[in-house]
Structure 1
Amino acid sequence: MNPAVNTKHHLEAIKAIQNKLLGKKLTYREVFNLMNEISHKRLSDILTTYFVAASFKEGFSTEELVYLTRAMVETGTKLNFKGIVADKHSTGGVAGTRTTMIIVPIIAAAGFKIPKTSSRAITTPAGTADVMELLGNVMISERKIESIVNDIGGCIVWGGHLGIAPADDIIIKIEEPLSFESFDKVIVSIMAKKVAASTNHLILDIPVGKTMKIRHFEDAEKVAKKFRMIGKHFDMEVITDISETFEPAGRGVGPYLEAKDVLEVLEQKKDRPLKLEAKALRLAGKLLTICFKDAHINKSGEEEARRILSERIALKKFKEIIKAQGGDDQVTSDNFKTKAHKKEVLPKKNGTIKEINNYNLNSVAKILGAPEDKYAGIYLLKKVDEKVEKKEPLLLFYSQDRYRIKEAEVTLQNMPIYEID
C-alpha cells in the first residue's frame, strides 16, 4: 500500500463501496471520504470500478446526489466569480452538435460571465475541448481563466487539467471503455463542475432519442427534476430544454469538421448548418432570459441572442476568446484548412433517408481516428427526410491515415449510418 495512504480512510472508502453494492444509502462522511480517496488516486481502478458498477445498478437517493456533488466540489479546485455567472451543458449522446461554441460568445457579448470548462470526448468522436483546441489553447490555468472571463466575459477551456471535481475525471476514465454513464452519474458530474465554476444560471440541453444517452421522455423529465433539485441546494437556477433528437444538428462530426460548422454559423455563411444555429439560438435565448430577469434588464433573451448572432457581434466576441486563449483571431471558415485525406461515399440505392444511426456514426468516426486525429471525421451531406440518388455523394470520410478510411468503408457495410427507404 502507498505509504501516503491513510489506512483508516482507505478502509472506510472500501466499506462505503461495499455498502453501495449492498444497496445501502451513504452518509456525507462516507461519500466525502470516497471522493477524496479517488481524487488523490489512493483507490485502485478495480475498487473505483466496483463503485461505478454499484452506482449504475442501484442509483443514488436525493441526499446522496447532493452529497456527491458537494464532495466532488470540496475535493477539487474552484473558480471564483461574482455576479451572474451563466453556463450551458448537454447530457450528450449526439455527435456533431457543437452549440456550446456558439452560445458562449452570445452570452458573453450580452454582458454576462460564462466560464465554460468543457470535457474531451467520452462517448462521441469529439468533446467541446477537442474542437476548441484547434482554434486556441484549452489548457489554461485557473488564474488565467479568471482573468480572461473577468476581462472579456467568457472562455472555452478543458476542465480536466484544472483539478475541478477531480474524482469525476477519474471515474469518467473508468467508464470510457464501456461507453456508458448512469443518469445519476451524469447529473453529479455536470453539477459538481458547475458549482465549482461559480455557476448560478444554467441551461441544460437534454436530447432524447433511441440512440441518445437518454432514450425516453419520462427519463428525461426525471433527470431534469433532479438537476433542478440539486440546483436549489447550491443556489443555482437550472432550466432545461428537452428535445427529441434524431440526428446531429450540424453536418460535421469530428473536431475539425465541427469547428468549421461553428465558424460558418458565427460568420452567418449562406450555406451554414441552420439546424445547429436554431438549436444554439434556442438555448442561448432561454439562458439569456433568466440572466436578464435576475439582472433586472427588460429584454427578450431570444431576440437579443438572434441580434447578437445576426449582427456578427458573437463572431467578434468569439475572436476575442480565441485571441485570449492564444489562438489566431484571423481564422475564418474559408482559411481554416483540413490536413486530412477525403473520400466520398455513395449510397447503394435511390430513396429517402428515414433515419441516422448515431451509434454507428460515432463508431465509424472513431475508426477514422477521431478525436485523436483532430482532422478525422464524417461530413454528412444528407440528413433525415432528404432524397438521395446513387450517383451523388451521401457523406465524406476524413482521416490523415488512408488505411483508416478503407477500414471505415468496410465497417460501414456492417454498421450503416443511414437507413434509406
Structure 2
Amino acid sequence: MNAGHKLRLKWLGIDTYQEAVIYMRRDCEVCRSEGFEAQSRVRVARNGVEIVATLNVIDSDLLAPHQASLSSAAWRQLDGREGDTIRVRPLPPLESLIALRSKIYGHRLNDEQMYCIIEDVARGRYPNIYLAAFVAACAGGRLDADETVSLTRAMVNVGQRLDWGSAPVVDKHCVGGLPGNRTTPIVVAIVTAAGLIMPKTSSRAITSPAGTADTMETLAPVALDLPAIRRVVGKEGGCIVWGGAVNLSPADDILIRVERPMDLDSEGQLVASVLSKKLAAGSSHALIDIPVGYTAKIRSQHAATMLKTLLEYVAGNLGLAIQVVFTDGSQPVGRGVGPALEARDILAVLRNEADAPVDLRERSLTLAGTLLEFCGTAAIGTGVAHARRLLDSGQAWAKFVAIANAQGGLRTPPVAPHTHPVCAVKAGRVTAIDNRLVSRAAKLAGAPRAASAGINLHVMVDSPVEIGMPLFTVHAETPGELEYALSYLDIHPRIVKVEER
C-alpha cells in the first residue's frame, strides 16, 4: 500500500467553515505523480491521525513545492503545527456512491445501503457536493417511514452511544420554526432539580437565528468532550452542551452544515436528526414539542399530525419512548430572538424577575410538567404545579447555576453595541407577528454568528399600540449588519401587523 508522499505544513489561515481542505501547488511532487486535480479527495495523515480532505490547487508562490496548507477545520482535526510533516495519498473509490446515485434516481434505500452512506458521511469521506446531493435526494418527502428508520439507526450506529446505567434518562426537543422559543435550558433546570437525569445535547442553528447550543454558549461553555459531560451529569444530573463536540450521531452535524446554506430541513431528515441524538445520548424518554402556526415551520394541524405519526413510528422501531405535544406557533415566544437576547429571557425566567416574559415562563412550565408526568416523577395532572414550585422556590435557578458552573462557569451574555428601534406608524392593536420575517431580520442583523445580534420584541399579538411606540429593536455588532437588517425591514414593513382601532 502507498504510504503517501511527504509535505511540510504551512499555516495560511483559510476558514472553510467545517470542511476539510488541503492546499498544494500544482507542480508539487504529489500532484504530478498522483495526477491529482482540483477537487480531488485525498487522505491526509499526521502522527497516526488521518482525515479526508478536498484538494484546492495553487498556481502561485504562496506555497513552495514541498509545502502544503490546510483549512482551519482540517488543521484542528490533525492538531497541525507549522513545519509538521504530513503524508498525502489517494482516497479509494467510495462504494456508497452506488447507493447515493440510486437514491437520486428515486429508489428506496435499505438498512445496509443507508448505513454505507452515513458511515462515509460521518468519516468525512463526502465532499460538500456529495452531501448536498444526498440532502436534496432525501428532501421533499423522498424518504418513506422505513427509510427514515434506517437513516436514524445508521446515524446512531456510526457514532458513540452513551449508557447512564439507570432509567429514566429524559430529553426534550422542539422541532423549531418559532423565534425565541428557548424553553430547553429552563426545562433542564426544573426537571434535574426534581431529580431526573437529563443529559441535553443540542445542535447549533440550522435555519434559525439561534439554536439551544448557540444561546447556552453565551451563558456557559458548551463544547464539552464525553468525559466532561459524564462528569457534569454525574455531579448535577444534567447538562446543556453542543452535540457537535462529541461523537454522538456525528453524521447529523455534517449534514446540518449543508442543510443550513440550502435552507432545508426536510421531514425525514428532521426526524432522524432529532431521534438519533436522543438515542445516542442514552435517553429512554423524550418529549417532542411541535409548534403549529401559519408562519411557523409546521403550518397546519394536518402537517403536525403527520410529523407526530412519523416520530412515533421511528421511535417505536428503535426502542425510544416519546410523547409528542402540539403548542401554539402563531407568534414568537419571549422577547429576544438571537443567542444573547434569548439568554437574557432565560435568566429572567429562572431568576423569577418581575418583568420575565410570561409566555416563555408558562410554556416552559407546561413542558417541564408534562415531562415530569411522562416519567412518573409527578402524578398525572400535578406536573405543572410541581414544576412551578421548583421554579418559584429558586431550586431551578440554583440547579441551572450549578450546571453552568460544572460546565466551566456561568457568564454574562454579551450586549450589542448597535441598536435601532422600529416604531409604530399608526395606533391600533397588534394582530399578527410573522415568525419567518422576524427570524430573517434577526439573521440579517448577524445572528447566530454574532451572539449579541438579533431582534428584541416589545409587543405581542393583541398588544395595544400608539403612534411612535417601539414595536421591536434591532441589535447588531456592526453598523453594516444593522443597516442590512433595516434595509430588509424597509422592504418588509409588516413584520408586526397593526390594525387600526
**Gapped regions of structure 1 (runs ≥ 5):** none
Larger radius of gyration: 2
Q: How does 1:19-168 map to 2 (within 5 A)?
A: 19-83=102-166, 84-168=168-252
**Higher helix proportion:** 1
Determine if the alignment matches structure 1 residue 314 to structure 2 residue 391: no
Q: CA deviation at 1:21?
A: 2.2
Cα distance per residue 1:83-119 (max 9 Å; x no partner): 2100000110111110001000111111111011111
1:292 is aligned to 376
Structure 2 counterpart of 1:142, one-letter code: L
For the Cα contact (< 8 Å) 2:414–2:452, is it kept in 1?
no
For the Cα contact (< 8 Å) 1:113–1:150, is it kept in 2?
no
For the Cα contact (< 8 Å) 2:162–2:280, is it kept in 1?
yes
1:301 is aligned to 383
Seen in structure 2, the aligned counterparts of structure 1 residues 360 and 161 have a Cα distance that, compared at 3 Å, is: same
Q: CA deviation at 1:63?
A: 2.1
SS at match of 2:334: coil
Q: CA deviation at 1:413?
A: 1.2
SS at match of 1:352: strand
Seen in structure 2, the aligned counterparts of structure 1 residues 111 and 80 have a Cα distance that, compared at 3 Å, is: same
Structure 1 counterpart of 2:393, one-letter code: E
Structure 1 counterpart of 2:383, one-letter code: G
For the Cα contact (< 8 Å) 1:206–1:243, is it kept in 2?
yes
Seen in structure 2, the aligned counterparts of structure 1 residues 299 and 355 have a Cα distance that, compared at 3 Å, is: closer
CA distance in 2, matches of 1:207, 1:302: 19
Seen in structure 2, the aligned counterparts of structure 1 residues 346 and 57 have a Cα distance that, compared at 3 Å, is: closer
Q: How does 1:21-420 map to 2 (within 5 A)?
A: 21-83=104-166, 84-292=168-376, 300-328=382-410, 338-416=415-493, 417-420=495-498
**Gapped regions of structure 2 (runs ≥ 5):** 1-40, 43-88
CA distance in 2, matches of 1:33, 1:70: 12
Cα distance per residue 1:201-237 (max 9 Å; x no partner): 1100001122222112111111111211222223221
The share of aligned pairs that are identical, in percent, is 37
CA distance in 1, matches of 2:309, 2:328: 18
SS at match of 1:57: coil
SS at match of 2:261: helix
Q: CA deviation at 1:58?
A: 4.4
Q: CA deviation at 1:16?
A: 1.1
What is the aligned length? 411
Seen in structure 2, the aligned counterparts of structure 1 residues 64 and 262 have a Cα distance that, compared at 3 Å, is: same
Structure 2 counterpart of 1:289, one-letter code: E
Cα distance per residue 1:155-198 (max 9 Å; x no partner): 11111121221111111111111212111110000001110000
Q: CA deviation at 1:339?
A: 4.3
Structure 2 counterpart of 1:50, one-letter code: A
Normalising by structure 2, we get a TM-score of 0.79
Seen in structure 2, the aligned counterparts of structure 1 residues 27 and 337 have a Cα distance that, compared at 3 Å, is: closer
State which drifts further: 346-355 or 191-200: 346-355
Q: CA deviation at 1:337?
A: 6.1
**RMSD between superposed Cα atoms in Å:** 1.8
Structure 2 counterpart of 1:78, one-letter code: R
State which drifts further: 103-112 or 336-345: 336-345
CA distance in 2, matches of 1:337, 1:35: 38
Q: CA deviation at 1:59?
A: 2.5
For the Cα contact (< 8 Å) 1:341–1:400, is it kept in 2?
yes
Higher relative contact order (CA 8 A, sep 6+): 1
CA distance in 2, matches of 1:93, 1:297: 31
2:20 is aligned to none
CA distance in 2, matches of 1:344, 1:62: 46
**Higher strand proportion:** 2
For the Cα contact (< 8 Å) 2:414–2:451, is it kept in 1?
no
